[in-house]
Every structure is written in structure tokens, then in C-alpha cells.
Structure 1
Amino acid sequence: MEKWFNVGKIVNTHGIKGEVRIISKTDFADERYKPGNTLFLFLEGSKEPLELLVKTHRTHKNFDLLTFDGFENVNEVEKFKNGVLKVPESQLGALDEGEFYFHEIVGCAVFTVDGEEIGKITEILTPGANDVWVIKPKNGGRDILIPYIEQIVKKVDVKEKIILIQPMEGLLS
């Protein structure tokens, strides 16, 4: 069974020539929305996704604007509103060393370099310069936030779903 990954949501149309406004959920918008790429539109109530070929891509304010082959005016894309654009796992590109997809990190068990189990990663926040990983502590309590930086995250093994950290003073208290 194909695994799908969300790359954006169509929130509105833009103009009269079939352009749609997207809130992007991908770190690779220029690559993902490149003309000629295929995206799959999942609409509520549809059993099968609609395969769309990207015709044009540009950015405007905080949105990505796309047109698709065969959809030339606003009336044809109006029904796409609130649809979610996804790609199959087979379209995920290779990442550089030290880079990971969110789905690879979420669910990983986190241990200190001394072997103490901290908990599991439940979410990834992207507030700015570096990602912040949210850990649900093994013993309950408040979530622990760790920045994804070299000084703290010492090893990431996505195959074994294990992450080793060197906590800074006060990080776990």
C-alpha cells in the first residue's frame, strides 16, 4: 500500500487563469512544485486522488501559486479548494547526511549518551534557525523540547528509531 506525504493545502484560487494558492508543508517548495512534477490532490469525499501535472509555480506573499496542465481557468480549479496535495513515498528525494524527513524522526526513542531513556519524539517544531524536537517523557509530565543542534543531538539512527542526546544543564529538569 502506497504511503503518502502532505506537501501543501490548496486554500483558494488566485486570479482567473486557473492558479491556486497553496499553504506549503514542504521544505523543498522549489523542487516539489517544479513545472513538470506530478502531485496528487486528495479531496474530501473522493475515493481516489487526482493526479496533477504542475504547469507553473511562483511565490506571492507567503503563498506558493501553482497552475496545472489542463486546468486553464478559475472555474475548473474552484473545486480544488481545501484539497491536500501529496506525493507518494517513491517521490521523496534523498537527503544530505544529517538531514531527515519529519516522519523518520517522529516516534524515535530518545536516550542520553549515558543510556537513560528520556521518552519518544512526538512532534517537530520549526521556529527559526533550527528545528526543535518535542519529547513526550517516558514517565509522563511536561513535554521536553530539545533543539536539533550538534552540541545536543549526538546520534540519530532512523532505522533503529533511536536518538542519543547530550543534554545541556537544565534541559531535562
Structure 2
Amino acid sequence: MQLVVARIGRAHGIKGEVTVEVRTDEPELRLGPGAVLTTDPASVGPLTIETGRVHSGRLLLRFEGVRDRTGAEALRNTLLIADVDPDERPEDEDEYYDHQLIDLDVVTVDGEEIGRITEISHLPSQDLFVVERPDGSEVYVPFVEEIVTAIDLAEQRAVIDPPPGLIDDGAASDEAAGGPGASSGDAGDEA
């Protein structure tokens, strides 16, 4: 299985380093020296990481064969893709890779079907499940222990115990999302 683990940003300095936007919870595993990554667009790679370091809170990488700023700038916006064993699990039993959670059915503790996880949104404060409902609308479920009570990979489902107001139909969902029916005072209050 292939997963996008980073996106190359701007060149840093004149010796071929680039900034990267990390898209993996395990950069030390996926983006370490010696890692060979395929790319999107494919014409750029594969790329082999020569060195990596953190500078001012950003990960900087240098790839084999890229020795100057011009070469580094040519890589900008390239996606870095790692081959990952689909059966691989994080060390902590309560952690999951995004690809393990995508497409899980979401049901409440009472058995009500809510929808299917289509995306995991990684926010600074917490992760969110983007759940597509049967009618095509979306609902956002915080991936926190108090709400997501169980992940059952064997049964391909996530069990949730939503607080009142999290899973609503119709106009209430639109208002929560700042969509049609939202009052003008609600739209700017989202965090």
C-alpha cells in the first residue's frame, strides 16, 4: 500500500535542502536517511533521503543528487509516497494509521448507522473523522476517547457515543457547518 507521507515545500538555503510538510505520524520512520520514496508526479522520483534535520520547527530534507537551490526548487509541491505494509500497526495498541480507519462504518453504541469514514482531518487540537452519511452529507466526529468508544478493525466499524447535537439531521447540521440556514452570527464562531 502506498501512502503520502509529505509534500515538499520551499528550498532552504543554497545546498539543496527543502522544507517538507509532514503528513505522517511517524516521520522518523518514513522520512529518515536512506528512505526511498516514490513521488507524485512520478517523473520527479524516486527520491532517496540523504539527510534530515529540524530547523525552527520545520523538517528539512536533502535528497541524493540534489546539491543546489535550483534543484531543490524544482522539487517544490512534489508529494512523497512511502510503501507501507497494509498489516503494519503502530506500536501503541490505541493508535491507528489513517488507511486503517478510512472506509470504516460508523455506528452509535445503540446500533444506529451514521455513515462511513471518508477522511481523517488532523487538526492541531485533535483529529476528526469526516463521515459521509447515506444521504451524501458529511458530519465531523472528534476522534477522542469520550466519543469514539471502540474501533473494531475485524468488523470494519467505529462505534461512537455522540453528545447531544453532534449527529443531527437537516437544518441543524447545516447551521453547525455554517451552511444554508446558519445565522450570520454563527458562521464566524467556528474554531
| Structure 1 residue 148 corresponds to structure 2 residue 146 | no
Pick aligned residue for 1:11 from 9, 12, 16: 9
Contact kept, 8 Å, 1:43 with 1:80, in 2: the verdict is: no
| Structure 1 residue 130 corresponds to structure 2 residue 126 | yes
More displaced stretch, 102-111 vs 124-133: 124-133
1:28-78 Cα shifts (integer Å, max 9, x gaps): 22332222322223336x2xx623322211223453210123332234434
Q: CA deviation at 1:108?
A: 1.2
Q: How many residues in Structure 1 have an aligned counterpart in Structure 2?
A: 167
Q: Which residue of 1 aligns with 2:108?
A: 112
1:102-152 Cα shifts (integer Å, max 9, x gaps): 1221211111121111111122222233211122222454x2222112222
CA RMSD, aligned part only?
Answer: 2.4
Q: CA deviation at 1:17?
A: 0.9
Query: Which whole-Å CA distance do the structure 1 matches of 2:156 and 2:86 have between them?
Result: 22
> Structure 1: which 5+ runs fail to align?
none
Query: Which whole-Å CA distance do the structure 1 matches of 2:22 and 2:86 have between them?
Result: 17
Identity of aligned residues (%): 35
Q: CA deviation at 1:92?
A: 8.6
**Measured at CA, do residues 97 and 4 of structure 1 come closer, stay the same or move farther in structure 2, by a change above 3 Å?**
same
Query: Residue 29 of structure 2: SS of its match in structure 1?
Result: helix
Q: Which residue of 2 aligns with 1:83?
A: 78
Q: Which residue of 2 aligns with 1:54?
A: 49
- Taking the TM superposition and a 5 Å limit, the aligned residue runs for 1:21-60 are 21-43=19-41, 46=43, 50-60=45-55
Contact kept, 8 Å, 2:89 with 2:96, in 1: the verdict is: no
Query: Which whole-Å CA distance do the structure 1 matches of 2:79 and 2:136 have between them?
Result: 34
Q: Which residue of 2 aligns with 1:102?
A: 98
Contact kept, 8 Å, 2:149 with 2:160, in 1: the verdict is: yes
Q: CA deviation at 1:99?
A: 1.0
> Structure 2: which 5+ runs fail to align?
169-191
**Measured at CA, do residues 77 and 65 of structure 1 come closer, stay the same or move farther in structure 2, by a change above 3 Å?**
same
Query: Residue 85 of structure 2: SS of its match in structure 1?
Result: helix
- Give the TM-score of the pair, scaled to structure 1: 0.82
